[in-house]
Amino acid sequence: MAKQWRKPHIYTPADVQHMLDIARSYPSPRASLRPLSVYTMLLLAYCAGLRRSEVARLDLGDVDLQGGTITIRQTKFYKTRILPLPDTVMAELRAYIDVRRRAGAPQDPRSGLFWHEQRSGRYTKQAVAWLLVDVIRRAG
């Protein structure tokens, strides 16, 4: 049986803005950091072209705020790459990291960038995929 592939869809800038707005206001009564986490995940997936597993594997130490880059480890074909990001994306990452710190997340460079308050650990790639797909669905 042949594998079924989804048809690619190209989002308009308005579509992307709508998804980012939905992510920022994502309902999360028991995890106050989640809306900003989902927003930042979506922003990195879109602006840096990251796969869900790459988003899930990001560590706090992979973000170089001074250099304006993120390091993507264990990518497809087991390579590592360093991606420059626009200043606007770095400003959003800086804000997320600050809120993450104030929420009590571990500051060890090897701790997951996207830290889950309730489980005190990183989001899995399945959780990242579910959250991003849910944002897309909510955006219509």
Catalytic residue ranges: 51, 76
**3-class state of residue 28 by DSSP:** coil
Residue carrying the six token digits 């602006």: 47
3-state helix, strand, coil split of the chain in percent (to 5) is: 50, 10, 40
Q: Which two tokens stand for residue 50?
A: 């990251």
**Nearest-5° angle of CA 18, CA 96, CA 100?**
130
